[in-house]
Structure 1
Amino acid sequence: MTTTATKLPVVVTDSAPLSPGQERLFDAEFALPDGSWPAPGTPTRLRPIDTAAIRIDGPLDTAALRRAVTALVARQSALRTTFRRRPDGTPVQLVTDRTPGPMSCQALHPGAGQDLPTVEELLCHAPAHLVDPRQDPLFRVHLLRLDQERHVLLLQIHHAVSDGWSISVLYRDLSELYNAAHTGQDADLPAITRSFAAHSRQMRAERRGPEEQRQLAYWRRRLAPPLPGRPAAASIDGLSPVDVEPVLVPADLVRGLRETAATSAQRGGVAGPFLAALALVLHHHGGERDVRIGMMISNRARPGAEHLIGYFVNTAVIRLHVDPQMTAGDLVAEANTAVTEAIEHQALPIQDLYQDLGDTGALGQGPLYRVTLALNTMRTTSLTLDGLRCQDIDLERLGPRRAPTNIEQRWVLDEHAGHLAGTLTWRTDTATRPGIGATLTGLDQALRAVTNPHTLVADITATLPRATPGAR
């Protein structure tokens, strides 16, 4: 007599409103112009699953890796989350008891003379990138076996359930869970006391409450008087075409920036000097002395949030006043102060700030910022698997080739082995390729210049390159 395994149904174990970050994300990238959601299964412009590729050399314990992935999904409820709209139109996130088949394996043989598959081959063999967040798994793991002791691990996690901090948590958890499964020991990981869904409910409950009003009062002062601005360029569908350039800040320069921040009149981390240098470049190209940059901020001050995968991230407005007669040290100190205060007031959702400034007439004609910066210094190494050598593989950033019209530049940088590496995504209707080349060259020069606190801003900007007219 033969028996057939019964496929157990997936059970919803929890539900919660969207976090403020998820709310912004779905409104900006998923909802149709009339506010409705596309029909299930319809391709959407919500950014595809983010993919990381890790080369693994050595005797990989595939069974232990599979157990580790299963344990990771059980530990982090955001990896078991999908999204729905209630009959009244309210969006919610639903947490299930499990997710089917989070890990798949495939043999892949590099071409003749190749040590590794090409990036195109890796992405071709990854699971599908077009994902509907209402019905598809938002976390997937795909193992490519090149030979007995060479593998490539593809980790895909949708940004609707993760942010930059989350990737650091994912790497830590998966490494520890694999090492424990491989040795037969218990994993040594911090306890998760509250789920991401529970934090989302708390964030919803705090909206318009006393603490948000306190933080709103700070941002009103920080962004007063009325903000100058120019209207964003028009676009038929609210999106504009973009292009992507790689960005690299070498380790010696990163060390110099950290030393500069630590010895500034107002101490801080590497974000302050980086923002100061970026403000110099923006001032140089646009002539504006009132420079505003939207900085992605972790928004994880709540107890227990630091160990969770989830979409907590918020945007803080870093406003710097660039005066040609000030010194680099003055500008770095101002940036350090702005970052410190932004962290202290990071819980106010940026959309609530936008609404308040609009209602009070303080917003001006244009958006709060046209340039954003995501600077992640949490994940400085690859996976750390016992007896194996792991190394991240650079993949071309995947995502839509169009972006919201009010953002002209998106800087995304992660720290790896002491250096900062990432991308600059720029709108091709607001800049030329020579102009972006001048921006990247100018940033490198400005980063080096701000490490000398006595240099005048006017002397720094006098040496920065300007773009010459040319083809896009």
Structure 2
Amino acid sequence: MGGAGNDLAGRLERLTTAQRALLKRRLGQRASPGPYRPSATQFGIWLFEQLNPGTSTYHNPAAVRLSGPVDEDLLRAALQRVQDRHEPLRSRYPADEDGVPRAFVEPPDALRLPWRVEDVSALPDPEQEAARIVAREAVTPFRLDRGPVWRCLLVRTGPEERVLVTTLHHIVSDGGSLGVLLAELGALYPALAAGERPCPADPPQGYFALAAKDTVPPGALEHWLTILDGAPDRIDLSALAEWPGRGEPPSPPAPDGGSAPTGPARGAAVDRRWAGRELTLQVPDGTATALEDLCARHGSSLFTGLVAASAATLYRTSGQDDLVLTTPVDRRGHEGRALIGCFVNTVVLRLRVGPDDRLDTLLARAAGVVADALAHSGLPFSRLVSALPRRGGGRSPFGNVAVVHNNAPMDAVSLGGLRLSHHPLPPVEVKHDLALSWNRRRDGLTGRIEYAARFPDAAVEHLGAHLRHTVETLAAAPATRVADLPGLSEVAR
């Protein structure tokens, strides 16, 4: 016994600092912690899944094209280390004896990375087959009670061409999580390729401990009930649904204006009740920079400018002067900036628009609305919805139009010597009648309109053209009155 003990002590003394840190972390994580109580947002997502089994509405897929020589084993090892670092990627959500979900977290060495490789490089049309596989991957259901709650797929389309697809369930991720995942992958893969054994520092605390600190401020519900007193719960989009040319095929857009509407790819199983389509818009960098400068002069953000432009377009579309929009807010804060998890909460933006409003006046009004919403974003959206009167049905319980400003983390990520680019994902299921999403990239603003399939493509093309025109007008001529913007049918597609 003494000899064995001395040998073990000697081996421990010879460990490097990184190896000691890894051993300490593994010993501390040997037992599965929990169970934890899911956050209010997680509970709402879990409940939706129980009521709609097999849905992909709350899937959070991302597809990245990798060009160059890829070491697939190292890529898999890097993703395994990402999973080891983040509790939510190792969690599952069974219900207890009372039917209430609880989160259980598996220790890192007990859960292998959900990883799959498909090789279509020898097929006659590898890109078409890859699109079919990626579309199917994005909608394949998860079992939240069993896990895993995320998965990775690598599709080989050529000798040095691959598509990496990571599909995370929204119960363990949000928009900011993709940036964390890509940043860690960008650090781990080159280090492994260089022969290093990276041991990144663990976050100061886990996701569930941090999420438990996010309490509701006193008076938050009363504040929101006051803000929304008498507000409509939806924006009237009948002008889109009843578009006169609903039977005509969509016309091709201008070369620099975006892309034609797209729907689910062949092979993607989509719930027809919530089937969605997508239209992309492009705003050049010069216009995006001018809009950023205008917003900065008004003490607001680019997002506020996009809210103002969206409100003006929606007013011209619906004639409704009292608009209720929703937007997701990232509440991870400083402590959670390096964590993957579901930190998002939905807030409501109530904005009044009149025909004589100048666009810069609308921008100033939107700045106040956005600032107030962010300052009172601690109330879970589900609690607000429960306290509001029930008024009709619909896909979203309150607010059928969302405005979203995403970051574009891929622009800043390097993966060794590989070239990274976005690989398109077809829309599958939508949460809103309309979702207006924007990404600021190096070459400008990329807009994406996700819309319910009941709206004709031609109508949404006109809506997209109007929105792009309004963004450009706000940036170049902010004194323009809302009434002087063209009507929806007057804008060239």
Q: TM-score interval w.r.t. the shorter chain?
A: 0.7 to 0.9
| 2:400 matched residue in structure 1 | 370
The yes-or-no answer on 1:219 pairing with 2:224 is yes
1:75 offset after TM fit, Å? Answer: 0.6
- Alpha-carbon distance in structure 2 between the residues aligned to 1:147 and 1:466: 44
Moved more, 124-133 or 342-351: 124-133
- Among 67, 84, 109, the alignment partner of 1:57 is 67
Q: Are 2:170 and 1:159 aligned?
A: yes
CA contact (8 A) 2:317 2:488 kept: no
- Does 2:312 align with 1:308? no
State the SS of the aligned residue for 2:140.
coil
1:54–1:154 CA contact under 8 A, matched in 2: yes
Structure 1 counterpart of 2:44, from 24, 27, 32: 24
Taking the aligned partners of 2:434 and 2:59, their CA distance within structure 1 comes to 21
The separation in 2 between residues aligned to 1:368 and 1:104, in whole angstroms, is 38
Task: Indicate the SS of the match to 2:416.
Answer: coil
Whether 1:338 and 2:369 are equivalent positions in the alignment is yes
C-alpha distance in 1, partners of 2:295/2:307?
A: 11
Alignment of 1:28-177 (within 5 A): 29-32=48-51, 43-47=53-57, 49-98=59-108, 99-112=111-124, 116=127, 118-123=129-134, 126=137, 129-177=140-188
Residue 298 of structure 1 is matched in structure 2 by 330
User: 1:284–1:258: structure 2 CA closer, same or farther, 3 Å change rule?
Assistant: same
Closer/same/farther in 2, CA of residues 61 and 46 from structure 1, 3 Å limit: closer
The count of corresponding residues between Structure 1 and Structure 2 is 422
1:67-126 deviations in Å (ceiling 9; x for gaps): 2111101011111111111101211121111323433334331544x6845543442785
- Report how far residue 200 of structure 1 moved: 3.2
- Per mean C-alpha deviation after superposition, the further-off stretch among 86-95 and 182-191 is 182-191
Query: Which of these residues, 374, 393, 396, is aligned with residue 426 of structure 2?
Result: 396
1:428 Cα shift? 4.3
Aligned mates of 1:189, 1:202 — CA distance in 2: 25
- Residue deviations 1:110-158 (CA, integer Å, cap 9, x gap): 544x684554344278598122222231222222334543332222222
Match for 1:285: what amino acid?
T
Q: Paired residue for 2:33? A: 13
Instruction: Specify the SS of the correspondent of 1:294.
Output: strand
Map Cα deviations across residues 270-325 of structure 1 (whole Å, 9 max, x no partner). Answer: 11111111111111121111111101111223x41111111111111111111222
Report what 1:7 is aligned to: none
- Structure 1 residue 448 corresponds to structure 2 residue 472: yes
Task: Tell me if structure 2 keeps the 8 A contact 1:231–1:365.
Answer: no
* Match among 178, 182, 186 for residue 189 of structure 2: 178
Which 5+ residue runs of structure 2 have no aligned equivalent?
1-29, 238-270
Q: Secondary structure at the match of 2:280?
A: strand
Distance (Å, rounded) in 2 between the aligned partners of 1:412 and 1:149: 32
> How far apart in 2 are the matches of 1:337 and 1:305?
26
Contact 2:156 2:162 in 1 (8 A): yes
Residues 1:151 and 1:16: Cα distance change in structure 2 (over 3 Å): same
The 3-state SS of whatever aligns with 2:346 is strand
Residues 188-212 of structure 1 deviation map (CA, whole Å, 9 limit, x = unaligned): 8664112122133333xx24xxx2x
Structure 1 vs Structure 2: percent identity of aligned residues? 23
Rate the CA distance shift 1:373–1:194 in 2: closer, same or farther, 3 A: same
Query: One-letter code of the match for 1:443?
Result: L
My pick for the range that moved more, 48-57 or 165-174, is: 48-57
8 Å Cα contact 2:355/2:483 also seen in 1: yes
Q: If each structure's helix is expressed as a fraction of its own residues, which one has the higher value?
A: 2
Instruction: Give the whole-Å Cα distance in 1 for the aligned partners of 2:444 and 2:341.
Output: 26
**Pair 1:279–1:346, CA change in 2 (3 A):** same
Counterpart Cα distance in 2 of 1:263 and 1:383: 30
Of residues 276-285 and 253-262 in structure 1, the stretch that sits farther from structure 2 once superposed is 253-262
Cα deviation for residue 370 of structure 1 reads 1.9
Question: What are the Cα deviations for residues 442-469 of structure 1, in whole angstroms up to 9, with x where unaligned?
Answer: 1111111212221112212xx132399x
Cα distance, 1:239 vs. partner? 8.9
Contact 2:284-2:443 at 8 Å conserved across structures: yes
- Go from structure 1 to structure 2 and tell me whether the alpha carbon gap of 1:434 and 1:62 turns closer, same or farther (over 3 Å shift): closer
Alignment TM-score, normalising by the size of structure 2: 0.77
2:205 is paired with a residue whose SS is coil
- Aligned residues of 2:68 and 2:418 also touching (Cα < 8 A): yes
| Corresponding residue number in structure 2 for 1:5 | none
- When residues 126 and 349 of structure 1 are mapped into structure 2, their CA distance, relative to the original with a 3 A threshold, is closer
Letter aligned with residue 31 of structure 1:
Q
Q: Against the structure 1 CA distance between its residues 59 and 46, is the aligned structure 2 distance closer, same or farther, given a 3 Å change threshold?
A: closer
Query: Does structure 2 conserve the Cα–Cα contact (< 8 Å) formed by 1:381 and 1:416?
Result: yes
- CA distance in structure 2 between the partners assigned to 1:229 and 1:127 by the alignment: 31
Structure 2 contact 115–153 (Cα < 8 Å) conserved: yes
Number of the residue aligned with 2:266: none
Q: Structure 1 residue aligned with 2:442, among 417, 428, 440?
A: 417
User: CA 1:257/1:249 → structure 2, altered by over 3 Å: closer, same or farther?
Assistant: farther
Cα distance in 2 between the residues matched to 1:231 and 1:57? 43
CA 426–126 in structure 1, closer or farther in 2 if over 3 Å, else same? closer
- Hey, what's the Cα distance between the residues in 1 that align with 2:94 and 2:236? 32
Q: Contact conserved, 2:356 with 2:483, CA < 8 A, in 1?
A: yes
Contact persistence 1:127–1:142 (CA under 8 A)? no
Aligned residue identity for 2:282: V
CA gap of 1:187–1:158, structure 2 versus 1, over 3 A, is same
Aligned-residue Cα RMSD (Å) equals 3.1
Change (3 A) 1:48 1:258: same
Unaligned runs of 5+ in 1: 1-9, 33-37
Q: Is the 8 A contact 1:17 1:200 kept in 2?
A: no
**Cα separation, 1, equivalents of 2:233 and 2:161:** 53
Q: Which residue of 2 aligns with 1:4?
A: none
In 2, are the aligned partners of 1:140 and 1:155 still within 8 Å (CA)? Answer: yes
Listed as ranges, the matches of 1:258-337 within 5 Å are 258-264=292-298, 267-301=299-333, 303-337=334-368
